[in-house]
């Protein structure tokens, strides 16, 4: 009996609906929702922690190793050229292009309208003309789960370090620890804690900056939080895949919690080439917004306000939850006078 089977077998008699493992024979994994609805990510996470009696206390020798290079694969939240709950019928436009009809009732009314505005602003350029990554900002959560770059996962008994090749964007998950906001403010990837249940890692993330699900997709607010369940599978053909069952919470941005699944597969070509993640340096390509709401290169000596000093300037000026941390004074999103 495998370690995963032991965990699942122990759960069947307790509550069948708490099984999170997706059949590994599935080509595209199904979304496995939580056993019931929760009011917050904290309630969700604490329920799972109590359900599994605090989980498995691994040592550095026994903790699951997700070695090698990985890259994002299928997901059902913001597929580039697939399905997404944010569009009517799940029919997202291919690539990052404009088009598609915004679905009703997934986002809160204010954020749904903001998303419509973002999609309308894309029509002229057939893409979202502004993106914070152009100023070397990290993708942040939840976009971190989908950015199409190389990943490395380093699991130890007390921390997990998840490295994204893009923008030195590393997530740190503190195992069997409490949340700590020692800075008193939010950050791009927030604060993540987790616990193992044999080979499953359950993670709770809070205190996240307002970010995006992906370029051209809806924004999140500074109330965004998440519960993730990570597990590696060996598929019938012998290849490895990491499945990530997620529940996103955002009391300002979502009408109700949103469930989804993301996957990672080995980055075979990069591994064969002996690729190594290096420091991401884009100082030579710092971009700022122009008067027509696109991006342009900031020349040496110029001091205009850059994109990363404001949040989502293509969204409504009065959209709540767009300060980096709740309670901060809002930036002026409405115009470009400060650049003149």
What are the C-alpha distances in Å from 78 to residues 84, 145, 146, 191, 315? 5, 10, 8, 23, 19
pLDDT of amino acid 297: 53
Which residues lie closer than 8 Å to 315 by C-beta, 6 or more apart? 114, 117, 118, 219, 322, 333
Taking the chain (340 residues) in runs of 10, the rounded mean pLDDT of each run is: 36 32 60 95 98 97 97 88 86 87 97 96 88 82 94 97 92 97 92 98 97 94 97 94 98 97 95 90 58 55 46 78 77 35
Q: In sequence order, what DSSP letters do the residues of 61-125 get, joined into one string?
A: TTS----S-EEEEEESSS-TTSB-TTBGGGBPPSTT-S---BPSSSB-HHHHHHHHHHHHHHTTT
How far is Cα 320 from Cα 13, in angstroms, rounded to an integer? 44
Q: Residue 132 has what pLDDT?
A: 80
Mention every residue, 6+ apart, whose C-beta is less than 8 A from residue 182. none
What are residue 247's DSSP bridge partners?
A: 227, 259
Question: Can you give the pLDDT at residue 328?
Answer: 73
DSSP 144: G
Please give the Cα distance from 56 to 59 (Å, whole number): 10
Positive or negative, the CA dihedral 37, 42, 45, 51 is: negative
Closest by Cα among 171, 149, 169, 155 to 270: 149
86 CB neighbour count, 10 Å cutoff? 23
Q: Which two tokens stand for residue 158?
A: 């007390």
C-alpha to C-alpha distance for 325 and 302, rounded to whole angstroms? 28
What is the model's pLDDT at position 26?
A: 52
Residue 306: per-residue pLDDT:
43
CA distance 155 to 163: 11
Name the CA dihedral angle for 318, 321, 325, 326, rounded to a multiple of 10 degrees. 100
Please give the model's pTM, rounded to 2 decimal places. Answer: 0.82
Q: Is 197 in a helix, a strand, or coil?
A: strand
Helix (H) or strand (E) holding 160: strand 159-164
Domain boundary assignment for the chain: 33-285
């Amino acid at each position: 009996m495998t370690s995963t089977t032991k965990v699942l077998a122990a759960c069947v008699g307790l509550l069948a609906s708490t099984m999170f493992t997706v059949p590994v024979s599935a080509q595209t994994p199904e979304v496995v929702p939580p056993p019931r609805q929760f009011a917050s990510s904290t309630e969700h996470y604490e329920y799972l922690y109590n359900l599994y009696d605090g989980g498995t206390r691994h040592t550095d020798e026994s903790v699951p190793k997700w070695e090698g290079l990985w890259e994002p694969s299928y997901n059902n939240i913001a597929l580039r050229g697939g399905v997404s709950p944010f569009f009517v019928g799940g029919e997202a436009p291919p690539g990052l292009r404009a088009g598609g009809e915004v679905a009703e009732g997934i986002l809160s009314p204010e954020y749904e309208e903001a998303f419509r505005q973002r999609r309308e602003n894309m029509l002229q350029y057939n893409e979202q003309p502004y993106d914070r990554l152009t100023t070397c900002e990290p993708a942040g959560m939840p976009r971190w789960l989908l950015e199409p770059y190389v990943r490395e996962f380093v699991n130890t008994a007390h921390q997990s370090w998840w490295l994204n090749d893009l923008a030195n964007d590393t997530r740190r998950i503190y195992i069997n620890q409490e949340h700590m906001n020692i800075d008193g403010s939010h950050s791009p990837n927030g604060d993540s804690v987790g616990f193992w249940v044999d080979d499953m890692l359950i993670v709770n993330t809070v205190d996240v900056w307002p970010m995006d699900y992906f370029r051209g997709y809806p924004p999140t607010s500074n109330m965004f939080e998440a519960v993730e369940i990570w597990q590696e599978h060996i598929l019938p053909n012998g290849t490895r895949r990491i499945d990530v069952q997620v529940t996103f919470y955002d009391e300002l941005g979502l009408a109700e919690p949103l469930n989804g699944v993301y996957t990672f597969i080995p980055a075979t070509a990069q591994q064969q080439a002996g690729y190594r993640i290096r420091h991401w340096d884009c100082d030579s390509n710092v971009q700022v917004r122009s008067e027509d709401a696109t991006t342009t290169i900031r020349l040496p000596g110029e001091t205009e306000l850059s994109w990363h000093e404001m949040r989502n300037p293509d969204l409504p000026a009065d959209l709540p939850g767009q300060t980096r941390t709740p309670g901060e004074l809002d930036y002026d999103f409405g115009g470009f006078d400060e650049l003149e």
